[in-house]
Amino acid sequence: MRSLFTLFLVFIAAGVLSAQVITVSNEMSLQSEFVYDIIGQVGEDILVIKDGVNDFDIQAYDEDLYMTWTKEDEKLDSRKSRIINVIPDDDQFYVVYSNDWKDTIGIQVRTYNPKVQVDYQDTIVLIKRGLLRPRFRFVKSEDENIFLMTEIENERIVSAFAYNLRQRRLLWESKFDFTNINFREEYRKTIITNEGEMFLIFEKNNFRYKMESHSMEFFRYRKEDNNFEQLTVPLPEFVTYDAYFTYDNVNKTLTTVGLYSDRNTGITDGIYHLVVDRALTTHQLSTIQYDDELVADFHGKYNPKRESLYNLDIRDLVLRQDGGLLIIAEENKEYERLSYGSRRDYYGSSRFSVDYYYEDIVLVSIHPDGSAHWQKLLPKRQYSNDDEAAYSSYFLFKNPSYLRILYNDEIRNDNTVSEYILNGAGDITRRSLMSTDNQKLKLQIKNAIQLSSNEMIVPSVRGKKLKLVKFKY
């Protein structure tokens, strides 16, 4: 019998009366050799894929999360086919995969309609292989219409190609020969824009003893020029230990936001904000220090000797249409310890256990000119052990009027799911969404997907059982 419950929660947020509906699907079994992924809304159904090596299964759910049909053992071309990525679209989805022949590797794509029937198949590129199988990095554009694959050889990018899924055509393909770049230490990010332009970002001399030569280097490639444009931005005032890179497809700018320090890795004294124009001709660099209230909230009390924050990673950037942005950083730590009572295993190796701590969220809003707007701390405490932090962290739900940050209060079977609601002015409301007591749910919130401006799907994995949970605001 299908297990379905619907909860109606009524609350007041920002003076507006709202209703929320939570729907839970029946469970499906997961096997260790399968990987699941929520494709999202394709046509009238919500699709979930369980992919193996060269085939996959599809489960389809209606808007009430009833499983309406399944498609099992959808085969690719051969046993040597390998799924690279699955990309959703409104009324179709794409499977990008590789095929392996005697001396050649082919990168191919299939377009499936909502009933998982092949509408189109294309061989994008053929690559001659040597003794070793080529390795690739896969990157998608913000609108998920263009994907980029870069070929990696000896840890260096040696070639790349970009493909437009909706137009069903190869945009460009090129080989590269980089000099004077240490990819192992200096490579930071590859970005593909909605127009098919590629950006590569490197960071040089990010050491205290080389700080005067510290810089960020940007390379731009587009098919019209068939070569690279380059810009070097000096950063001699500080070293960095974390950064987030994105391309603003509205304002046509490349944005870098990072944490800087003049001391040890893991300690941040502030945030740097670097904006580069699309043509790599101009840039704007600014730094922002943490205000006293944020530092006091982070450490629990005000201490004039404490000006730094610890163990932060930048998780998200929310870009504003005017060029401003919101930075979302999260405090997290991992500790490896010797398992109690198991000092040595059968082969004489020590057995270790890993503790995961995902804690406070730090918000920093920045004006288009790089100056500080507001800074806030959202308290959160999550602890887990030996679970790869699968149930920790948060999910960012975006809406034109507000943002929601959803998270598990605690990492356990019986738990409360909460959210912070914030607007552009920095006004924040916290509330509890639901309890999982006696519901056999364990939500992997950071793996959620947003379906629309008022709907999202969150996977629940408890043991080897998967359920879908839909939140509708």
Tens of pLDDT, residues 262-306? 766 678 999 999 999 999 999 999 999 999 999 999 998 777 667
**Model confidence pLDDT, tens digit, residues 380-418:** 999 999 999 999 999 999 998 899 999 999 999 899 999
- Which 3-state string (H, E, C) describes the chain? CCCCCEEEEEEEECCEEEEEEEEECCCEECCCCCEEEEEEEECCEEEEEEECCCEEEEEEECCCCCEEEEEEEEECCCCCCEEEEEEECCCCEEEEEEEECCCEEEEEEEEECCCCCEEEEEEEEEEECCCCCCEEEEEECCCCCEEEEEEEECCEEEEEEEEECCCCEEEEEEECCCCCCCHHHHEEEEEECCCCCEEEEEEECCCHHHHHHCEEEEEEEECCCCEEEEEEEECCCCEEEEEEEEEECCCCEEEEEEEEECCCCCEECEEEEEEEECCCCCEEEEEEECCHHHHHHHHCCCCCCCCCEECEEEEEEEECCCCCEEEEEEEEEEEEEECCCCCCCCCCCCCEEEEEEEEEEEEEEECCCCCEEEEEEECCCEEEECCCCCCCCEEEEECCCCEEEEEECCCCCCCEEEEEEECCCCCEEEEEEEECCCCCCCECHHHCEECCCCEEEEEEEECCEEEEEEEEC
pLDDT at 446: 96
Please report the pLDDT score of residue 469 as a whole number.
97
So what's the pLDDT on residue 401?
87
Domain boundary assignment for the chain:
31-133
Give me the pLDDT at residue 341, please: 52
- pLDDT score at 107: 96
CA–CA separation, 315 and 322 (whole Å)? 21
386/356 Cα distance (integer angstroms): 8
Residues of the chain with pLDDT under 70: 1-19, 32-34, 131, 263-265, 304-305, 339-351
Which pLDDT does position 241 carry in this prediction? 87
pLDDT at position 5: 37
Q: Tell me, what's the pLDDT at 2?
A: 39
